[in-house]
């Protein structure tokens, strides 16, 4: 079995995101996606709730990664933020792991899937 080398970019999301912050973060993340099959782990441990701006940024990141056959993985998502993802019906679009370490390690596992 052959494994392709992949790089993983880990980014800490802020506690709350304003539109200007979201645009800046998205530009920053796009610059990390210059390679084929980019993998982004977004550490959500500080993020308390996911509002419309945050949801928009997450979906834009996912769209950009998918254009390059890549992944966006969420780590350390709080219970209230998970509830918001569920209410917006986008929780199934992302792999979600309890810790950043688990999220990063999942990239290198042959059979990975979303956590229940």
- For the chain, the structural domain boundaries read 8-106
pLDDT at 2 over 50: no
In sequence order, the β-bridge partners of residue 41 are 10, 73
Q: What is the pLDDT of residues 19-42, one digit of tens each?
A: 888 888 888 887 777 777 888 999
The third-level CATH classification (topology) of the domain covering 8-106 is Transcription Regulator spoIIAA (3.30.750)
* pLDDT value of position 111: 52
Show Cβ contacts of residue 22 under 8 Å, excluding neighbours closer than 6 positions.
53, 54, 56, 57
pLDDT-based confidence at 110, cuts 50/70/90? low
Q: What is the DSSP string of 66-113?
A: HHTT-EEEEES--HHHHHHHHHTT-GGGSEEESSHHHHHHHHT-SS--
Q: What is the pLDDT of residues 80-105, one digit of tens each?
A: 999 999 999 999 999 999 999 999 99
């Amino acid at each position: 079995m052959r494994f392709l080398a992949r790089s993983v970019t880990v980014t800490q999301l802020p506690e709350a995101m304003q539109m200007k912050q979201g645009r800046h973060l998205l530009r920053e993340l796009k610059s990390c996606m210059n390679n084929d099959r980019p993998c982004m782990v977004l550490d959500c441990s500080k993020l308390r709730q996911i509002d419309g701006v945050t949801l928009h940024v997450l979906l834009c990141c996912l769209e950009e990664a998918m254009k390059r056959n890549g992944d966006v993985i969420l780590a350390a998502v709080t219970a209230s933020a998970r509830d918001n993802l569920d209410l917006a019906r986008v929780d199934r679009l992302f792999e979600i792991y309890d810790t950043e370490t688990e999220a990063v390690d999942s990239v290198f596992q042959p059979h990975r899937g979303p956590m229940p």
